[in-house]
Amino acid sequence: MSVHNTHAEHIDSETGKLGMWIFLFTELFLFGGLFLVYAVFRAKYSGEFHLAAGELNAFIGTMNTVFLLVSSMTVAMSLTAIQKGDRKLALFLVLVTILLAALFMVNKYFEWSHKFEYGIYPGSEVLRNLSHGELLFFGLYYMMTGLHALHVLVGMVLLSINIVKIRSGSVNSHHYLMLENSALYWHLVDLIWIFLFPLLYLIT
C-alpha cells in the first residue's frame, strides 16, 4: 500500500470519527432538552411525579441498567479484540452485546405491556382521569423511554451489520472504524439510560 493511500485512509478515519462525535453531541442536546423539561415539571409537580413513579417497576429498571452496563463493556472488549486481530472473540463479544440489548428490549416490552393492561398509556381513559402532574410524568416517561428504545434498536442494527463485516473481513485489525463508531454510539445509549433510570424509577 502506497504512502498516499495510507494517508488518505487516515484522513477518512479521522473524518469518520469527527462525524460520529458531532452526531453524538446532537443526540446529547436532544436528550438534554428532554431532561431539562423533565426537571422543570418535576420541580413543579414533585408530589405527583413521586406518586406516578410508584407505578414503575424499579427491579426491571435495575435489570435493564445491568444489561446495558455489561453490554457497554462487551462492545468495548470487542473493539479491543478486533484491534488485536482476534476476529472470533470480536464476533462473540458483539453477539453478546446484541443479546444483552435484546434482553433489555424484552424487559421493556413486558414493562410496557403491564402498563397497557392497566390502561396506563398515552390517550387512555385512565391517564385522562389522573392529575395534571401524573399525566405529565407518564407523557415524559413514554416519550423518553420510547426514544431511548428506538436508539437501542438502531444500535442493534449497527452491531448486526458489524457482525457481517467482521465475518467478511472488511472490519479487521487495520480497518475497524465502523465497529469503533458503533461502540461509541452504544456507549451513548448506555449513558442516556444511566440518567433515565434514576430520574424515572428512583424518584424520592
Q: What is the mean pLDDT of each run of 10 residues along the chain (204 residues)?
A: 46 71 88 93 92 90 96 97 96 98 96 88 82 91 95 97 95 92 95 94 79
Q: How far is the C-alpha of 71 from the C-alpha of 166, rounded, in Å?
A: 18
- Name the residue with cell 411525579: 49
SS3 (DSSP) at 55: coil
Sort 114 into a burial class: Cβ within 10 Å, 0-12 / 13-18 / 19+: middle
Supply the pLDDT for residue 141.
95
pTM of the model: 0.89
pLDDT in tens, 174-196: 989 999 999 999 999 999 999 99
Cα 146 to Cα 104: distance, rounded to the nearest angstrom: 13
Cell triple for 15: 473524518
Q: What is the largest CA-CA distance in the chain?
A: 70
Q: Which domains does the chain have, with CATH numbers?
A: 26-201 (1.20.120.80)
Distance from C-alpha of 15 to C-alpha of 22, rounded to nearest angstrom: 11
Write out the three cell numbers for 6: 495510507
